Amino acid sequence: MMMLLLDIGNTNLRWALARSEDAFEVEVARHSGAVPLDVLARWEVLDPPSRLIVGNVGGAAVGESVRRVAHAYWGLEPEFVSVRAAWRDLRIAYADPSRLGVDRWLALIEAHASVDGAVLIVDAGTAVTYDLILGDGRHLGGSILPGIEMMRSSLLAGTQIPRIESEPSGRSWATDTGSAIAAGSVQAVAALADRLFEHLAHEAGAEPSMLLSGGDADRIASAIQAPCEMVPDLVLRGLARVVRELS
């Protein structure tokens, strides 16, 4: 029996078929509040999945679109995962855990299960989220920044700065507008990662691990000084793990 796993962010939808334990290939598509046409075309020719498991932070409209498609294609009711205050030894720091994005919770589950000791998770997508967890499963909390693209677009929307596209040069300062903006956003995201890494090391009393995920992970990786590991499918892996242990 095959499960379809779905991680819906504010910009992109990631999906994978969980055929066996954890061998799956991830596909990414931009959504605009509905299941995009190229994904529909792929799903149309799938063997009907036995379950459809969804982590959704992309809003009610795209969730409803997934529900309609699942009914129409497979007569299946999607299972939307929600955050639990405690899951095994993982305890969420938020006073109201339901406020924590489910993508962050799934990333925490996977990070804690797959890494010994304290972990800093950096998920750089539409927004950038940071989560700190100790080796005993205690979540300390986190931080949220606008994503790199959003930093740039909000800066340009709120000023008269001319629109000049540029990629950062790898240095933390620049000598032209486009590179200065690109450098600013990438360095901001990376610098907060390094700062939180230091704070977590202090809290944990040992060197933590850092996991990097999200569409902008490779844009920020080289600007981060602390050692970090890329895990592009962290949220989907967390989803696969939650379902395995739920059923």
Residues assigned a catalytic role: 103
Residue 147 φ/ψ, nearest 5 degrees: -70, 170
* Binding annotation for K(+): 123
Give the one residue of 4, 5, 39, 57 binding ligand PAU; rule: CB under 6 A.
Answer: 57
Asked if residue 127 binds ligand ATP (CB under 6 A), the reply is yes
Site string for K ion, 118-157 (x = CB under 5 A): -------x--------------------------------
DSSP string of the chain, one letter each residue: --EEEEEE-SSEEEEEEE-SSS----EEEE-SSS--HHHHHHHHTSPPPSEEEEEE-S-HHHHHHHHHHHHHHHS---EE----SEETTEE--SSSGGGS-HHHHHHHHHHHHHSSS-EEEEEESSEEEEEEE-TTSBEEEEEEEE-HHHHHHHHHHTS----------SSS--SSHHHHHHHHHHHHHHHHHHHHHHHHHHHHTS--EEEEESTTHHHHGGG--S--EE-TTHHHHHHHHHHHHH-
* Rounded least distance, CB 217 to ligand PAU, Å: 13
Give the one residue of 14, 31, 51, 104 binding ligand PAU; rule: CB under 6 A.
Answer: 104
Asked if residue 238 binds ligand PAU (CB under 6 A), the reply is no
Which positions from 119 through 158 interact with ligand PAU, judged by CB under 6 A?
125, 127, 129, 144
Asked if residue 12 binds ligand PAU (CB under 6 A), the reply is no
Contact yes or no for 5/22 (Cβ under 8 A) = no
Site string for ligand PAU, 82-101 (x = CB under 6 A): -----------------xxx
* Rounded least distance, CB 129 to ligand ATP, Å: 7
Which positions from 75 through 114 interact with K ion, judged by CB under 5 A?
103
Pick from ligand PAU, K ion, ligand ATP, none: which does 240 bind, CB < 5 to 8 A by kind? Answer: none
Site of interaction with ligand PAU (CB under 6 A): 9-10, 57, 99-101, 103-104, 125, 127, 129, 144
Site of interaction with ligand ATP (CB under 6 A): 9-12, 57, 103, 125-127, 147-150, 214-216
